[in-house]
Structure 1
């Protein structure tokens, strides 16, 4: 199966330039071809998005959990403040780790779900446009909100679709040239 912009594994470069002009052997061309083929598959896009989402969620969770100890006036923080320093640090690190893990899992699930659905829709429609993003956002939001009931599923569909479409539209819009 050939994809636009990809060279077959054992053929020369388009236009008859051959492998020698590019400095790549047939084995290198095959490796490049199959690497790109794997990177463009829905399974690898889903896994990569899940891993990236997990990493971003863990960082976000770490940041947010570190902000919960900023005021010693809350009852929970007052109880922690009465503990010896070593126990305070142990408690804080354990709490930050569990919150980071939780946020990482949630972001990873959302990223993998959205990327997998978007890739399947793109493959089905054989187009790459904002309609794919809107549909993937709607399905992802609906799936994520389904446990809370039909109203939450509809709200998740509309909200996630609008958010993901707006972000993709902004990312694809041409930028102003710097003068």
Structure 2
């Protein structure tokens, strides 16, 4: 038995679950699942689904085309939310451990970094100035969203 009546294995598991890497991975998985659900729900409202349904063909062909669009929407949303969750959670945890404080600054900085990463889009060709502007807007937007969310959910009473 180790300190506090816990076994050595329990302490190891507890420390692993408190690590920033574990939190980042779990947030990425949860974000991916949430994004899949969002893609499934909102994928049906896509113009591409309307186009697939309005095409000439059998009902089976139309259903397959709409299913393909819904699948692509689910995957895209899952990747976006997984990246959001993993980057934000990992960044906020790292900042909080480094600063040894749990306050609104952690959310602000983590949101800024997450917004910059999400809007960087390396596959899209654009100039450096346009990319920097896009990342700046993403940084500011997600930082303010994170700050407001953290304030209203955790820090409003204090």
Q: How far has the Cα of 1:94 moved from its partner?
A: 1.9
RMSD: 2.0
What are the superposed Cα offsets for residues 43-80 of structure 1, whole Å, 9 maximum, x if unpaired? 100100100000000100111112237x9xx655421x
Match of 1:60 in 2: 38
Superposed, 1:23-172 pairs within 5 Å as 29-68=7-46, 77-79=53-55, 82-147=56-121, 149-172=131-154
Unpaired runs of 5+ residues, structure 1, are: 1-8, 14-18, 20-25, 175-179
The 2-side partners of 1:169 and 1:43 are apart by 25
TM-score (norm 1): 0.74
Q: Which has the higher contact order (CA 8 A, sep 6+)?
A: 2
Cα distance between partner residues in 2 of 1:125 and 1:149: 30
Q: Comparing both structures, which one devotes a greater share of its residues to helix?
A: 2
Alpha-carbon spacing, 1:89–1:78, altered in 2? closer, same or farther (3 Å): closer
Structure with the greater alpha carbon radius of gyration: 1
Structure 2 length-normalised TM: 0.83
- The aligned length equals 147
* Cα distance per residue 1:81-101 (max 9 Å; x no partner): x32111112112222112101
